[in-house]
Structure 1
Amino acid sequence: MTPEMVMSLAYQGMQVTLWLAGPLLLTALSTGLLVSLFQAATQINEMTLSFIPKILGVFAVLVISGPWLLKRITDFTRDLFGNIPTMIS
């Protein structure tokens, strides 16, 4: 296995990780920001108030984009396992 192959696999793995985590993290970030703005506007200083909207938002994104996320990770895994014979030689 050449160093270029290792770097290519690492790059692909990081890219898939970003594609999988990106929608969930962006949803949690935007929900937290909106709740924080609401708290600042109403002067509610409850730290635990943002957890329920974040959980619901991330759950909704998982339900909506779950099939796409599963397809991305299974395609990557299938390609990775399919390329094992070329990696060994």
Structure 2
Amino acid sequence: MNEADALDIVQFAIWTVITASGPAVGAAMLVGIGIALVQALTQIQEVTLTFVPKIVAIMVVIAFTGPFIGGQISAFSNVIFERIQTGF
């Protein structure tokens, strides 16, 4: 295994993490911005108000995008196992 192989594996791992976590992070960001806007408009400054909607949104998004996330992780695992099998 040389430097190019290691960099390729690290690049693929980072891309897998970004694509697998993207839907949940995006949903949390959108819900957070929406709640912050409502708090700013109504002047309700309750810190704990954002937690429950974010958690619910993340759970719903993960429930719908679970097969996609599993496919991304499975593809990464298959690539790593193939490289191990071929001896890099």
Considering the TM-score relative to the shorter chain, is it more than 0.5? yes
Partner in structure 2 of residue 72 of structure 1: 72
Partner in structure 2 of residue 60 of structure 1: 60
Q: 1:85 offset after TM fit, Å?
A: 3.0
Q: 1:86 offset after TM fit, Å?
A: 2.9
- Deviation string 1:42-84 (CA, Å, 9 cap, x unpaired) is 1111100000110011001000100110011011101211211
Residue identity over aligned pairs, in percent, reads 30
2:36 is matched by which residue type in structure 1? Answer: S
Partner in structure 2 of residue 46 of structure 1: 46
2:10 is matched by which residue type in structure 1? Answer: A
Alignment TM-score, normalising by the size of structure 1: 0.93
CA distance in 2, matches of 1:87, 1:11: 19
Following superposition, which runs of at least 4 residues in structure 1 exceed 2 angstroms of deviation?
Answer: 85-88
CA distance in 1, matches of 2:32, 2:56: 12
CA distance in 2, matches of 1:85, 1:31: 44
1:67 is matched by which residue type in structure 2? Answer: P
Partner in structure 2 of residue 20 of structure 1: 20
Give the number of equivalent residue pairs: 88
1:5 is matched by which residue type in structure 2? Answer: D
Q: Helix, strand or coil for the counterpart of 1:83?
A: helix
CA distance in 1, matches of 2:6, 2:86: 12
1:52 is matched by which residue type in structure 2? Answer: V
Structure 2 segments unaligned to the other structure (5+ residues) = none
